[in-house]
Amino acid sequence: MAMTSDDVVECYTYLGDAGVDIWIDGGWSVDALLGKQLRPHKDLDVAIQWKDVPELRNALSARGYKQVREDNQWNFVLADDQGHEIDVHAFVFDDKGNVVDGIMYPTESLTGVGRIGNSTVRCIAPRYMVEFLAPWIHKWPDKYIPAVSALCEKFGIELPVEHKNIVTPGQKS
């Protein structure tokens, strides 16, 4: 089952009301930055401070979410019985607001702001979203070439070298 924009906004709002701050990551971050949905998404990727993970787990447990996968303590996936998945990426801020442990997001990457539907959301900043996606272009070109191209065009970011070296279907080499 896909995560719809309504699902994402409802989850973001619900967690915010529960006192849990998240940053939208992954495909939904791309869409938030662009202000439109480029493709369907099977899950919602979120970045969260490690200190807020227990409250996130409690809030989502009350909604029927259970852990279905754990890559490590900093990255795990929760899902409900309808197939909605939330891929959680936890990090630790020091007292100066720098990421010092967990998923090592560059601190500046956590400064993005975008829109999903009529809601403003915190997300990964555009330059970093491009950097995070570029290494995956060769593995999933249908997924990431349009995302990287759209972000670069909208925000005046130079296309990464990984993107420049790909010949897309219908393009002459």
pLDDT tens, position by position, 80-131: 999 999 999 999 999 999 999 999 999 999 999 999 999 999 999 999 999 9
Domain check: are 115 and 133 in the same one? no
Q: Are 44 and 73 members of one domain?
A: yes
Q: Give residue 140's pLDDT.
A: 86
Mean pLDDT of the chain: 93
Number of structural domains found in the chain: 2
Residues 11 and 90 in one domain: yes
Answering whether pTM is above 0.85, one says yes
Domain that holds residue 140: 126-173
Question: In this structure, which long-range contacts are made by residues 16-20, counting pairs with CB atoms below 8 Å and at least 24 apart in sequence?
Answer: 18/55, 18/59, 19/52, 19/55, 20/48, 20/52, 20/55, 20/56, 20/59
Verify that 150 and 75 share a domain, yes or no: no
